[in-house]
Structure 1
Amino acid sequence: MPTIPKFLQSRPYGLQWRASPWFITLGLNVLSPGITTDFLIYSLIIPVMPFHLQQLGFSEISTLVGYLLFAYSGGLALSTPIFAWYSERRNSRKGTLMFSLLALAASQVLLMESREYGIMAIARVFQGISASVVWTAGLALVCDTVPEKKVGRYLGLAMSGLPLGQLIGPPVGGALFDRFGIRGPCIFGVIVIAVDLIGRLLLIERWEALFWGFDPAASVDDSFDRSSTLPNYTEPQYGTFSAEASIPDEEGRQDSYTFDSEEIDYINPPFDRKIGTHEALTVNLQRDHISFIRVIKELCMSSRAVAAMVNSFVYGILYSFQEPTLPVHLQRTWRLTSSQVGYVYIAAALPAVLSPSLAGWFADYTGTEWATFVCLLLAIPCWIAVTIPANLSFFVIAFAFENLCTAAYVAPVTTELALVSRRIPGVGYAHAYGAFNFAVGIGASLGPVIGGEIFQRFSQGWTILNFVAVAVIIATSLVVALYTGESPLAKRLRRGGKVPTSKFIHGAQYVGE
């Protein structure tokens, strides 16, 4: 009989709520895998670094800030293949997520103590490495836990951590910098990391919950029943255990699992020493172990997957394009300080906190093609409006709507990747989000550098860079119309607006022709 690991020899306290989709998803938003933590610490220094570099005597500030953002995105892009591969090789995603905290803490210490530009860049690389784990293992953890038909709304809820981090980070960073210098926001970041550690220790992954006879995905619909969730479960006689069983997904396919890093099948639940029986279920959590290069190759063979990668790349450009230039633009135009720049971010990020959740729900209800296209379409007038030379109030309102659309855009994109990955043999969720991370990292590497250079080189740099973004959005909208979703919008137009069939499965995914 196989040896049961120590951490599975006693039922975890609070199993059902610690493994529930709500806790996992809100944890990804607020605590455990830390999208909010990642983006909060990322955005802490956005209103701070231009002023910090000025204090240190540097010139061409927007260009230098752009390259610091490039260092972050470069670290994210380069480390993503490693962690995507590693996360799919290991059964547990929690250990990988814990490692990201060490890289994030190291980034804060380096940034706090460094006065050399090169060391600051290294600190940002470490932060990018941490983010690559959150955006691969973290998003994969949500998809592991929730049923496919509701993946959009749960990913949208998790993605609300992006604007939430942006809502908290810049104003807190600006205020702490004005009072304590660069050490203020960095120490605050370390405190947030410590809180994040608690959430990561609390979460229980689905494979461990299945070991104890609880399926978190079934609990989403409040229809959990042990016999129906684990259909091959039987109450064995004394001293016996079932050798093998499997869990069908919603399409009737059999998911397989192994419970340990050494690929040994374990018994579920462990031996009850008081009763002397084995309530057993061996569930094979084994995943296909393929290289990241092969994942990219498999994704590139699907036009739908390529479109999702293009959207990921564009998202990376959009959310980073203005970052090195916005504080300088606000300082030049309205003479704002770092604290006042932070307040602008508050006003802009507040409406965007709920938009990913709404976009995720919309993607589940109508399909990812509509949700993605609408988000891009609504973003165009917002990017144009921020170039209008009006008063500060008008700018803040326009910037808020721009953030709302950009934050909403990522929810249907990540949902599309989750749906695509389930239909490509050998591609797991961590693989798909590794590809997403890689594409976003490349876009976010180019965005601040190009934006910073345009702003620095042209007298009307702010207007030019925003109209470049509008051109990118229009081109991406065409890609979305042609290739995104089970039934792309362009294909519907050729059919006279009719969808292939009226039957909906798994979040408005159409079947049949």
Structure 2
Amino acid sequence: MSTYVGPESSTPPLGLRWRSHPLFIIFTVGMGAFVDLFLFGLIVPVLPFLLKDRIHVPDSQIQGTISTLLAVYAAASCAASPIAGILADKFSSSRQLPFLLGLVLLLSSTILLALGQSVTVLAIARFLQGASGGVVWTIGIAIIMETVGQENLGKTMGTLFSFISVGGLFSPVIGGLLYARTGYKGVFGVGIGLVGIDFVLRVLMVEEKVARKYSTPKLSTPNIPPNNTHEDTEQTCLLSNSTAILHSYRLSTPTNRFTRNFPFVMLFRHTGLLTAIWIGFMQALLLGSFDATVPLVASEQFAFDSLRAGLLFLPLGGADFLLGPVFGWCVDRFGTRLASVLGFAWLVPALVLLRLPTEPAIIDKLDRYHLITLYACLLAVNGIGLASISSPSIVEAGGIVEKYYEANKELFEQAPYAQLYGISSMVWGAGLTVGPLVAGGLREKIGYGNMNLVLAGLCGITSVSAVLFIGASEQGNDATCENDD
């Protein structure tokens, strides 16, 4: 019996049952995304010292070099994500091999960062790291979708994003602590160790569709329909409604070569899909904004060192971590519109209130301890909003793409989920990059309170957009199937 399972393998692997279990698959994909984002943040606090001490970059050029390295990462992630999506959908018998190749890119980048002696080598390392992130997110979410189905995607993605977001928020603090205590060896040793664990999990994982090839067909029994006219009528109504809904998702025959080869681009005429993608961008932008500004506020307002500043992420990440699965369940139960609208509406006052600990009138009335407590509580309030908006984007976009696929199977070889999540991954990477740049620039020019006011305005616009465009495909499923008793 074998351990690795390729698409052409005919021998059942050892431990097939637990290796193909949905929980193990979800954990493996979640670990992959966690390691990717964790390593991204782990290196951030080390870069200034690495550039100055090892590569001897002049102090005046360090900030610009760091910005360039961040831009290289974002560019690679944005470029690799849609390509990974297209290739994953074209060669979809098993996605394990490209999933593993993404990890090879991540390991290569970590080794280059650990050993690199020039800015060029570091740029190559960050490029490989960005490309790895694009591959991991794109293929990983497609695997999740195929494993849990659209009906369970909300709570699954809510849980995953909670877990992943905590890694992204705390990794810079851990990186700084490791560097202070152990130097470069400790930082990169932890990174390579996490990649090793991730590699073992990805090799062991068996996709559900691959596992089905080894299952023994069950003997079927005659299917005798029950004599229930009411249920038959109800089922007929539901089928009729489903057909009518799918008809609205019909696409015209592509007229040029590009759309014939890539019919997925025709889906961007749907305002709900565009809004869902925008929601994902806003989620990443907000996370990047908090990552960039909270440590600075902690240092300037409360004279915190890096370790204490990191502790301020506990209420923010803790609320997101604990409530993400709950809001994900709500998305599955009540639809994407409610969580999207209320989540972004909640963030409007929550972001505005973050200015209080920096306002002179408040500072004069409260001592340092109460100011810190106030700021921590306000971060927790914002964490609730972040938890609410963590899963609607993926669920809404996945539902729309599923309907387009069902209505246009002659245009698609198979459901183009990987292409969708490639676009989502690209937008997510862009949000994580733009967030710190926008937040940092606004904070320097108009102050921390006004910076959050701008972010609150963006959240308000997003909430209104969600009212208008999110969840429209969920309407009309129930009203026309009412029967008189």
TM-score of the aligned structures, taking structure 2 as reference length: 0.77
Residue 448 of structure 1: how far off its partner (Å): 2.5
> Is residue 83–residue 136 contact of structure 1 (8 Å, CA) maintained in 2?
yes
1:397 and 1:504 map into 2 onto residues whose CA distance is 47
Residue 479 of structure 1: how far off its partner (Å): 1.2
> Is residue 70–residue 449 contact of structure 1 (8 Å, CA) maintained in 2?
no
- Equivalent in the alignment of 1:328: 296
1:251 and 1:139 map into 2 onto residues whose CA distance is 29
- Equivalent in the alignment of 2:409: none
Residue 132 of structure 1: how far off its partner (Å): 0.7
2:303 and 2:134 map into 1 onto residues whose CA distance is 36
- Equivalent in the alignment of 1:79: 80
Residue 50 of structure 1: how far off its partner (Å): 5.9
1:39 and 1:461 map into 2 onto residues whose CA distance is 28
> Is residue 67–residue 449 contact of structure 1 (8 Å, CA) maintained in 2?
no
Q: Secondary structure at the match of 1:92?
A: coil
Q: Secondary structure at the match of 1:160?
A: helix
Residue 346 of structure 1: how far off its partner (Å): 3.5
Deviations 1:481-502 (A, max 9, x none): 11111358xxxxxxxxxx6354
Whichever residue aligns with residue 465 of structure 1, its letter is M
Whichever residue aligns with residue 473 of structure 1, its letter is C
Residue 168 of structure 1: how far off its partner (Å): 5.0
Uncovered stretches (5+) of structure 1, i.e. residues with no partner: 215-224, 232-249, 254-289, 489-498, 506-513
Q: Secondary structure at the match of 2:108?
A: helix
- Equivalent in the alignment of 1:398: 378
> Is residue 150–residue 395 contact of structure 2 (8 Å, CA) maintained in 1?
no
> Is residue 355–residue 405 contact of structure 1 (8 Å, CA) maintained in 2?
no
Residue 228 of structure 1: how far off its partner (Å): 6.9
1:168 and 1:292 map into 2 onto residues whose CA distance is 44
- Equivalent in the alignment of 2:353: 385
Residue 131 of structure 1: how far off its partner (Å): 1.1
- Equivalent in the alignment of 1:429: 417
Whichever residue aligns with residue 432 of structure 2, its letter is A
1:68 and 1:403 map into 2 onto residues whose CA distance is 29
- Equivalent in the alignment of 1:9: 10
Structure 1 residues 371 and 398, CA, compared in 2 at 3 Å: closer, same or farther? Answer: same
Q: Secondary structure at the match of 1:354?
A: helix
Deviations 1:136-159 (A, max 9, x none): 100000111123222222222222
Whichever residue aligns with residue 8 of structure 1, its letter is S
* Counterpart selection for 2:144 from 128, 142, 145: 142
> Is residue 28–residue 138 contact of structure 1 (8 Å, CA) maintained in 2?
yes
Whichever residue aligns with residue 11 of structure 1, its letter is P
> Is residue 351–residue 400 contact of structure 1 (8 Å, CA) maintained in 2?
yes
2:257 is equivalent to residue 307 of structure 1: no
> Is residue 85–residue 292 contact of structure 1 (8 Å, CA) maintained in 2?
no
Whichever residue aligns with residue 92 of structure 1, its letter is S
- Equivalent in the alignment of 1:350: 318
2:134 is equivalent to residue 132 of structure 1: yes
1:383 and 1:22 map into 2 onto residues whose CA distance is 35
1:380 and 1:81 map into 2 onto residues whose CA distance is 32
Structure 1 residues 64 and 384, CA, compared in 2 at 3 Å: closer, same or farther? Answer: farther
TM-score of the aligned structures, taking structure 1 as reference length: 0.73
1:345 and 1:69 map into 2 onto residues whose CA distance is 22
Higher helix fraction (1 or 2): 2
* Counterpart selection for 1:376 from 344, 349, 352: 344
2:283 and 2:129 map into 1 onto residues whose CA distance is 19
Structure 1 residues 292 and 319, CA, compared in 2 at 3 Å: closer, same or farther? Answer: farther
Residue 89 of structure 1: how far off its partner (Å): 1.4
2:375 and 2:119 map into 1 onto residues whose CA distance is 32
2:465 is equivalent to residue 479 of structure 1: yes
Residue 396 of structure 1: how far off its partner (Å): 2.5
Structure 1 residues 302 and 228, CA, compared in 2 at 3 Å: closer, same or farther? Answer: farther
Q: Secondary structure at the match of 2:386?
A: helix
* Counterpart selection for 2:110 from 105, 108, 111: 108
- Equivalent in the alignment of 2:234: none
Residue 29 of structure 1: how far off its partner (Å): 2.1
- Equivalent in the alignment of 1:36: 34
2:119 and 2:290 map into 1 onto residues whose CA distance is 21
Residue 408 of structure 1: how far off its partner (Å): 3.7
Residue 314 of structure 1: how far off its partner (Å): 2.0
1:401 and 1:61 map into 2 onto residues whose CA distance is 35
> Is residue 50–residue 328 contact of structure 1 (8 Å, CA) maintained in 2?
no
1:483 and 1:228 map into 2 onto residues whose CA distance is 44
- Equivalent in the alignment of 1:360: 328
Whichever residue aligns with residue 395 of structure 2, its letter is T
Uncovered stretches (5+) of structure 2, i.e. residues with no partner: 224-237, 243-257, 364-370, 406-411
2:392 and 2:219 map into 1 onto residues whose CA distance is 34
> Is residue 18–residue 24 contact of structure 1 (8 Å, CA) maintained in 2?
yes
1:77 and 1:362 map into 2 onto residues whose CA distance is 31
- Equivalent in the alignment of 1:450: 438
1:417 and 1:306 map into 2 onto residues whose CA distance is 8
Residue 251 of structure 1: how far off its partner (Å): 8.4
Whichever residue aligns with residue 150 of structure 2, its letter is E
Deviations 1:418-446 (A, max 9, x none): 11111123251101101211222333333
2:395 and 2:220 map into 1 onto residues whose CA distance is 27
Same amino acid, percent of matched pairs: 24
Structure 1 residues 5 and 382, CA, compared in 2 at 3 Å: closer, same or farther? Answer: closer
Deviations 1:33-90 (A, max 9, x none): x122122212223455567668776359777655544332222111112111111112
1:95 and 1:327 map into 2 onto residues whose CA distance is 39
> Is residue 106–residue 128 contact of structure 2 (8 Å, CA) maintained in 1?
yes
Structure 1 residues 294 and 421, CA, compared in 2 at 3 Å: closer, same or farther? Answer: same
Structure 1 residues 169 and 251, CA, compared in 2 at 3 Å: closer, same or farther? Answer: farther
- Equivalent in the alignment of 1:175: 177
Deviations 1:197-238 (A, max 9, x none): 111011111221110127xxxxxxxxxx94579x9xxxxxxx
Query: What is the alpha-carbon root mean square deviation over aligned residues?
Result: 3.4
